Structure formats: C-alpha cells, structure tokens
Structure 1
Amino acid sequence: MEKEYLQTDEKKRMLTDTLALLRLTQSVIQPDDFARVRNTIQQGIDNNHYQRDRFGINPAIHNLATARLLCEKISPDRNMILAILLYSLCKSEYIDENELVGTWGEDIAKLIHGLLKVSTLYSKQAAMESDNFRKLLLTFAEDIRVIIIMIVDRLALMRHINHHPNEKMVHDVAYEANYLYAPLAHRLGLYAIKSELEDLSLKYTNRDTYTDIAHKLNETKTKRDAYINGFIEPLRNKLDTTGIKYEIKGRTKSIYSIWNKIKKQNNDIDHIYDLFAIRIIIDSEPEKEKSDCWMAYSVVTDMYQPNPSRMKDWLSIPKSNGYESLHITVHGPDDRWVEVQIRTRRMDLVAEKGLAAHWKYKGIRSEEGLDTWMNNVRDILETAETGPMELMKNMRMDIYDKEVFVFSPKGDLYKLPYGASVLDFAFHIHTRLGMSCTGGRVNGRNQKLGYKLQSGDTVEINTSSTQVPKLDWLNFTVTSKARNKIRQSVHEMANRTSSLGKELLERRFKNRKIDLQEATLMRLIKKTGYKTVTDFYTAVASENIDINNIIAQYEELERRATETVTARSAEEFQLSPTDEQTAEQSDVLVIGNNIKGVNYRMAKCCNPIYGDDVFGFISSEGVIKIHRTDCSNARNIRDKYPYRLINTRWSGKLGEQFGATLRIVGNDDIGIITNITSIINKEKDAQLRSISIESNDGLFQGFLVVGIRDTAQLNDITRKLRTIKGIKDIKRYR
C-alpha cells in the first residue's frame, strides 16, 4: 500500500495483524484470497474509496483487527474474514453489490448484503435502548454470522477508541456496546467478548470508577491469589478423603461485575462478599448428585463457619428456569467472607449454557423463542467439529417473522404485527391520528392507507381535519386497536346520523300536524326496502330520500288502513258473505284460524307469519302450502308451476301464534343473553320457544325462535332487541 496512507504505528500494527491472520487462517483460506483482497483494497485506496471512519480509524487496520479477533475469539472462517475485509469498499460503493456474487461467490455476497442492510439502521437515529431495536437488528441481519461479525467488530472498535478526544462519540459507542452487543454476545455464549465489552464500556463511561477498581484489584492480585490458594488447599485435602471426584477453582469477577455488586449492595470494594468466588464442581452419578453436593457442603461448613442469611439452596427446589446449585457464604481466614458454589458437572453445564440461560437469572430480559434459537447457535459454536461457521450458513433468522419494526420520523421504533398497514401504524401512535389519517409518507414516498409496512420503514402520517373513518378500512387493518376503533367510530357516527334523521322526520310530521304511528311507520320502512330502522333514519338524515315523499306514502298507508276498517264495518252491517264465500267467488284463498274445509299448511322453507305477503302453492299431495312472496323458492315455483299458484291473503280474524326465527350476532358480554330473554318475556302475547347460542373469540351468534302474533309484533321485538348494548346484528332468518 502507498506510504502516505499508513502512519508509522499503523504500519507496525498492520504487519503484526497480517502475520497473525495468515497464521490463524492457514487451514481455511485459499492460496490467492489475500492477494486478491489486497489488490482490490489498493485500488480502492487509489480511488479514494478506503477512507478513515468518523473516529479517524484507518479501515485497513480496523478490518484486519476485526478479522484477527474473529479467529482468536471464535473460529477462523474464510467467507466471514473476506466479507469483513471487503465490506468498507462495498459501503463506499467502490464495489457494486451486484458484482459480488460473480467475483467472490454467493455466500460472501450474502454476508456483505446483511452488513450493508444493518448499517442503514444507524442512519435512522433510533434509540438503542429500545428492545425493538435489538429485534429489528436480528431481523435485518438475516444471517447469524452477520451478528457475530458485528459483535467482534464492535469489540475491535472499543479497543481502538481509548483516549479518543471526542468523549461524546466514545460514550455513545460504549453505551450501545453495553446495552446491545454485550447481551447478544452473552446469549451466543461468547462470554469472554461479553465481559470485555462490559469492562470497556464502564471504562469509557465512568473511567474514574473503572480505574479505581482496576488499581485495587492489581494491588491485591498477588495477595488475593495467595488467599484463594490458602482457602482451597485445606478444603482439597478434606474433600479427597470423601472419595468424591471433583474440580475446585477460584476466580476473580470482572470489573463491571464488581461495579454492579458495589452499586447493588451500596458498599465499597473492600466489603464486597463475593469479590471472588470458589466453585466446587463434582463428577457425580445422576442418582448421587444431591447427596454428593450435600457431602461437599458438610465439608465446607465444618471447616468454615457459614452465614445462614446468605445460604441459597437451589438444589432442593431448583429455580423455575432449571438452575440447580448450592450457594453458601462462609467466614474464611483473616476475617473475610467467601462465596462458595457447589454443583455437579451436569448442573454446571445447565447453568452455563442450557436451561438456566445464564442471562435470565442475571436479570437480562429474554424471550422464549429467542432463547431456544440462541442456545442452538451456542451449541454449534461450542461443539461443531467441522467448523461452527460452516454449519451456520443456512441458519434462518426468522425468529421475528411475525412482526414488523418501523420508525417514526424522529427515530422512535415501533413493533407491529406482520401485515400491518400505514393505517395500523397511525392508530398505534394515537387514536386521533388514526381517525384523521389520509395516508402516509413511507421512506419519503407517498403511500395509501392500506400500504403494507416492512421492517425498517420510516413512516410519517398524513392527516386531514375532514377525514372520517369508514367501514371498508377494516379490509386493510390487522391490529385489534385499529379495527375496534374503526368499528366503534363508524357505529357511533351511524347512531348520531340515525338520531338526527329521526328528529328531522318527527319534526316534519309535527309541523304537518300528523300523528306518527309506529306500526304504520314500520310498514312504510319495510315497503321502502330498508333492512333496519337505523338505515332508514340514516337515509333521511343524509337526504338520500325525500321526506315529503315519505310523508305522502305514510298518509296513503294510513288512508288505506282507514278505508279497510270502514269497508269491513259496512259489510258486517249488511251481513255480507263470509270470508270463505268471498274466497270462492274471487279465487283468492283467505287463511286464518277460522277457515274450515281448506287443507293448507305453512311452508317450512320460509315460515310465513301473519302480515307477510304470501301466495299459495298446490303440492302434488293436494295440500296448499303457503309461501312468503320473498321466499328463496318463490321464483323457481312461479317459473315451473304457474298453474298451481293461488292468490292468498290473511283473514282479518286471527288469534293464533306463529313461530319466527331471528338470527342474532353480538359481543359475548356478561348478562347480554339475560337481557334478550327479558325483553321477549315482557312482550305481551309473545313467547321465547327456543334459543341456540355459540360463542367464539369474544363474539356470539345464534338463533331465537319467537312465538308472535304478526309481523308488526316481530318488528317491534326486533327493534327493542337492537337497543341492547353489544348487539351487532339481528334479522329474521328465512
């Protein structure tokens, strides 16, 4: 490389790292790999595409250090090393991403694509302390090896920025390493990297505390090691006499861990009980595990006096996460407290990498699915004989494939279910924002309400003061909050409009000095084709129908009803022929409870009741079956058997009760069924014959069979049932 590109100290470091990398990668690298990479990097430097980063770090030095760390701390892997060395040139767009496959192969291209994709997250200015950012990071990476490269890269950066003049930049990197990368390293079983990241993070964010603890540890190291050996030696001699096979070791905790203890116990380093810990690991048969542990416990407590208040027995009753161990704090030589942990080899394995999932009992938040997945990755890292990274190539990172993570313009990160739209996001932010949403700008481009969001999108909501929710919004919303608010708003608007329409109609009738009869109005509503009273009143308020026409039709119905009553009274006064005689003379079948000599029955396909428009059909058995004119079979009957039809009307003298079936849908709330039955039972001359209800997902639907006099009574009951809170739909069935 050109002389001016490297400083003197950088040249020395580059030579050291290059020789180390060549030595560490002998078994995995191909003969011409490094020569090709070197030529590519040199060309990038010549074309001003291999520039120092924001810390002033030379990318050639940094990438070599990262590749070396990968080999030393984890495992040498050809594709990961080459991806690390080439990434900077791809990010500066010197190497076109589309050319990578042909030049370096599909797998290296895949790794660099993942690194480039993840790098876009940092342009969002997102809050790193958000759990959602970690999830989005894992989603974007697509390949677990990308996450491993990022963790190692962060350790290389943390080692490099000590005493950098820009303290804020250093502080931000240190905070991110502690919150994001150290927990990820821990989940992956990269304990040495995790501890170093935490220690360096403390060093850069609280240097005085770090230095103070480090100095005290260094000052007392020789003395501490001697103390540990002096504590262990008599224990070892005593344990040897028991016949159990064991391993005993002492360890000093990391600076970051000690600092956490100091904060938690509100004490200084000289009074921390477990500045170091002794661990006794027993090789025991499964059936003798507990007895061997208690034997070791007996030896320790016979030799050193225990502190009962600090005894933790997770052997008799393991933790809910599976952790098993005996923890005791004993009074050791020189009047010092020492923590001793006793467990079997199996228990130690579980505690370190299995069920206990070490981060859980350390208080780090986790999720079941991620824990299981990460444990599998750790097993590969620790046990693979053919090279762990080789086995990871095809591992899918789809642990969050049922969620999407999107940014607000300010960089706030939000989690939504997969398939969520711009409208879902608006309601997620605030109900008022959703109600007035007209669309959004996604990654700077205008999108419609129903645009399906993807992880990493930046979404800005567009609103209008004139916008109102519509029922068809339910077609492109998936979150329960959005769907519930839309339904609620549409229902409330419909009720307000309906109430306005009712008031408007009543006021017009009053102005005309017309007495409004509900029964006549119900017949008019049915005649005009509206399914519900609410729909009718909404049409009135929306001026979809002319009130003057409604009044005219209402008066016509009232006039006809009056004429019918008058005519019937005159006929009765003149002793006119009976209904049966009239039917014979006019070829009209009159049906009712006083009709004799006519063999007829109500058709079961439509169950007509008094007041329905009906017709008669002579069946092959000679029985006249009465159908409603809107029966689903009516058209077929009229087309095929017109000669069997009989004009039919109801007798004016009726006393029997008819069965009508209602289909009802509503929210499955406590007491709603009681309210339904109460309304029907209070109705004069009405009877609830049967009820069949099914409940699912917070909703119920079912059928009511009601015994009633006529259609007017049925309409009245239906109207009253609709007033029950929670009823969504009710209509006559067949």
Structure 2
Amino acid sequence: MNNTVEVKEIDLEQERKEILKRYRKLLNIARPYLQDDDAKLIKKAFMLSAEAHKEMRRKSGEPYIYHPIAVAQICVEEIGLGATSIMCALLHDVVEDTEIELTEIEAIFGKNVAKIIDGLTKITGVFEYGSSQQAENFRKMLLTLSEDIRVILIKLADRLHNMRTLGSMPRDKQLKISSETFYLYAPLAHRLGLHAIKSELEDLCLKYTEPEAYKDIAKKLKETKTSRESFIQNFIRPIEKDLNLMGYKHIIKGRPKSIYSIYHKLKKNNTPFEEIYDLFAVRVILDVPTEQEKSACWAVYSMVTDHYKPNPERLKDWISNPKSNGYESLHTTVMSSGRRGRWVEVQVRTTRMDEIAEKGFAAHWKYKGNDTRTNKAFESWLSQIREALDTSDKTQSAVDLVDDIRSSLYNDEIFVYTPKGKLIVLKDGATALDFAFEIHSEVGARCIGAKVNNKLVPLSHKLKTGDIIECMTSAKQKPSEDWLAFVATTKAKARIKDYIKEANKQHVIMGRDMIEHRLKVLGINTLTLEITNQLRAYFNAKDSNDLFYRFGKAYISLDEIKKWKSDREAHERKQATKTIQEPLTNTKNIVKELKKLHGDVKNSDAILIGEDMDRVDYTLAKCCNPIAGDTVFGFVTINEGIKIHRTSCPNATELLSRHGDRVIKALWTSQIKMSFVAHLIIRGTDRMGLMNDVTRVISQELKVNIQNLSIGVKEGIFEGKIALMVQDTQHLETLVQSLEQVDGVIQIERGE
C-alpha cells in the first residue's frame, strides 16, 4: 500500500511577496503611532522574526511569519498600542520556538523589549504531577504584568489571532485552547476593558466548544437580520430627529447582542431564542467637549425616555462612577412602541468613552490626564494582583493563585465609602471584612464587626453601592480559616492565608512527621513526591501543606493511611490486568501505548470507548454521564485512571484550561452495543395523569428502562427528573421527541 501523501507545490516567490505586502500594511496602520527611529527598529524586528521562523509553517500550511505580523496588527489596530508593542509582537515567539536567546534580543532592542518577550515566553521543563503547566505560565505572565501591562495586551492579541485561525487545528487542541481562552483570557480582556476582543473571544470559544449551539444562534440571527434592521431603523428615527434638533454631533449604532451573550441568556433563563427580549442594543455616541460630557449624556438619556418607557431597575450610571477598567457609559433598557413592544438596551456615551470601551486600557491611558479617578481604581486592581503574587510562595500552587486572581476578573463592582467620604471600589459580593482589608491589612486582621450606614453588622455582611462603612477592631482578634468562606477580594484572601499560614506552621510540621512515621510502620520507608501527590489526591488536599496540616490538626485519622495503602494495592492489581501498564500519570506514555495498541490507523492516539474497555483503565465521568454520540475527551486523573467527560460537562472548561497536558482524545466505537444512564429534566403544566403518560411513553412505547424518577409540583407547574438507560444520543433524541408530544410537557432538557 502506498502511504505517500501528495504535497502541494509551494510558490515561494509568491509567498515572499505576500509576506512583504502584509508587513507594509502593518507599517501603514502603525505610521500615526511612530516616532524618531521606530520604523527602523520595527524593520529590524520583522527581519529577525522572518529569518528565525523561515522554515516554520502553521497547521494551515501558511508561513509562520504571517502569525507575528497579524498579532502586531491587532496590537496597533484593535488595541492601539505603539512601537515597542509592535516589535514585541513580531518577536513574541522567537525565544520560545527558535534558537535565538533572550540575551540577543536585549542586545539589539534593549531591556524593555527583552523583559516583555520573557513575560510572553512559556516556561519549559518538567512539572510536578498534579500541577498545571498552563497555570505556571499564567503566573509568569502575571508577574510581568504587574510591571508592564503590555505583556498581557500582546498575549491577548496573540490569543485572538490563534482563535481566529483555530479551524486548522485538531479537535482536541481546539477544545483545549478554547477552554483555556474562555477560562482565563476572555475574563482578562473584560477586566482590561477590551470589550470588542472579549466578545469575539467568547463567540469563538462557543464556536469550537458548542458548535451546534453556535451555528443555530448564528443562523437565527441571519434569518432575522432584515426584520431586525427594520425594527432598529424605526426605533432610532425619533431619537435621531431630536439629536439633530439639540445640535449634538453624533453617531447611532444598532446591533444585536453577541452570539455568546445570547447563548448565555438562553441557558440561564431556559427560554427559546424567540423569547429573548433584550436582543437589541442601540448605542448613541456623542462628539462633545470633555467638560460637557456628563450633562450631554444625561440630556440624551432624558430625551430617549421621553419617547420610550424605561425599566427603572435597568438604569446603570457608569459616568458618575466609572468601572475600574475605565469603562464609562449610561445604560438603560426601554420598551419600544408599536404593535409588539420589545425591550431595547440603549447606551449613551461620548467618542472618548466609546474608544475606552472598545480598546480598553491602552485607550484609557491616552486620556489619563482627564480623569485620575479611573487611574486610581485600575491601579487598585493591579496592586491586588501584585499582593497576591507577593504573598504566594512555593506552597501555594499556581492553580490556586490563578483561581484567586481569576475571581477578580469578571465581577461587577460596587462603590462604597469611608465615614470621611473616601470612595472605595470593591467587587460585587464583597463583605464588610473585604472592606476592612482594603483599608489596611491590620484593620482587616483585627476587625470584629462594622457599622454600615450606622447599623451594626457582622463581618460577613455583603455590601452594596452607596454604603458608608466604619470598621470596629480589637487587639485580641485573630484571622480565622472560616473567614475564607465569605471574603470575596483577592487582597483579603491573600492576607488571611498569610496569617493562617504563619499560625499553622507547627501543625504542618507535625502532620508530615506523623505521616512519615505511619508509612514506615506500613513498610514504606520514604515519603517521596509521588507518594505525597497520591495522598493529596486520595484525601482531596489542595497541596502538600494542606495534606500535612489536616493530619496535624487530626482532621484526618492516621488509620486512613492504611486504607489508602490497601486501595492503592488493589488499584495496582487491577492495573496489572490491563494492556497499558504504564503508570497513568504520564499522558505521553499513554498516547504512545495507545498507538501501539491500535496500529497505523486514523485516531490511533485516541481511546476507543467500548473496544478498549478491557485494555485501558478508563471510566465514564459521573459529573456529566456521557453517552455514545456525545462529543467527549479523556482526562488523566492522579489516582483514578482515565475519566471520559462530555465537552459540555460543567467541569470541562476548568479541566481543559488548567490541565490541557492531561487531556487525550476519546472516540465512541459503533462495534459494541452499550447502555448508558441519561438524565432528563421535564417541565410543564400539571394535570391529572400526566406522569402516567410520560412513564407509558418511556417504558411501554419505547421500551426504555427507567432507573430513577422524582417529581415536584409547585403552583400548577411540575418538574420531573428521570434517569433512564439509552444506547446513544440518537436514541435519546427519539425519546425526547416522543415526550414532547405528551400533552402538558413544555420543556425537556438534559441534566448532568
């Protein structure tokens, strides 16, 4: 059999011309941002990058240099960065992917460029099993971010171009990169005020993680485009007329919400596409002098609400209190007139505010002389990141650090005050204790309660915008582990952990000694890193210190170690019967063994669910109960072999983004018939005999075995949860279609 693949002939001269064309286009876009010798330095960076990457190609087959040029173009065109960032974008992969050293970059382009490139270069080497390479790289980027924000801005441009060209990557890489993007980079874009980039990243993530949902919403938006445009034109006509009478220079934009935001609403509210009311957003952008911005925006708001009735609960004033990423705008939701009223979100802002809203931090910095208030708020967030990085040490895993910082990215903000009237910006959900730590670490550590608007409240009291808070302290007070359960800010969590860590050192030392002694009694002479990791996983400890501490405090009995040893031996005996006997802690080894097992066939590096049952140690994950036909992936756990998860599993985004290096391909095989547990949630209007009809359709007509059934009825609406045995997704779809015909059934969705 001939295995040679016909290689398409590459026209190198044509490619060279295309590379130069793209480079010249980049220079033309960048020209307004360049000064002095910037163009010469950019040319040097381009020539160095082109030479370093000349033998490299992307998965699509294109020359690799297309990617750095595109990243540089995003930096200047979509974020508004200058010459240094363009150079760094052109060079961002040379240290990581080629022979060029960071010292060479520094010698040619200086320390500043070298430092940014270093922040963009992934960490290499062997990682402790159970840690996350992605999280370690993210920690490294954050360390540089606290000194130079451009590291993250260039990384976002890099990620955006990777997402735009993700179609040429294999499916497992699409899932890993999309999940990581959704988990870390879209929230970062949001926090840095890059609204357009954040929305596009979310849409592209959805396109690859939930392709059917994405296509369905995109199709419906396309089908309704004409009627939507007609509706928006009618809606803005009276606004346009009054704006002209008021003499304001303006632009009005009408647009649908992003595909992801529509998907999120569909999922959150359990409503069909046709019933989403605030599908439309109209933006009024005024071109007025800075000193007139506030009064002009409120005048336009007043005029809009003269024409359309507003929803008073949906007025958001981010002009008086801008978000800490610099975002300023007035938002209101109004009911349109006509035969069928619809909710429409109206945003009123100025040209300056719009540029900040779209291009975020970079644009905000351009206007920084106009308003120090947002500078302070942004600096406050950056200082929280610095503190979290400073207080994290080798005992805190990068995963925990990333989780702490990620929690500060997507939250809305509240604006509260000290008794002297000083404004403090906190994340939504912050408590009186968060406020105390924001004032000063010692105030937080000694806080025993607070007065909110002159009323005594406990430390866990959640604050809301407008509250005036006064902290009460006592020299006898000490931070407690319980505090971590209700504080919300990164700063408070970091400080509490610091205090607790200091207090708990003795328990950690004692716990380690106790474990080592018990292991020796059981015939294990050394507490190795591998055994520590196995114990961590077995007892569900966050890290080794958490494990030792829990034994030192007697939260876990030493007798449990004997049980761990016996379970480990049982697992090893089971493992010995499998064809793949490599320890299931090395993904590369597993993939290598799978290829040996399957031979030279397509997808030989994938687990074939059904066929490989007796040869590979895998199980179906209980958190999402995959069934044949679902899009799935394999995840290598520390102690429990390989788990098969649905790509739509509630835990998928976290697993794929944190531990992408432990993900392997998994495919269903049609050769073996299997039965799976599927969970359905059925909702509808209650009537006599409804549940009998539902169970008759399942058991008698379709001959499906019901494993479990629970029903609840409230005010005439019923909800039934059913676990049943099905063969695959097609079988389940047939069942759902039959149940939808039962009188009274309104909605059926798949549960976890």
Structure 1 length-normalised TM: 0.45
Structure 2 length-normalised TM: 0.44
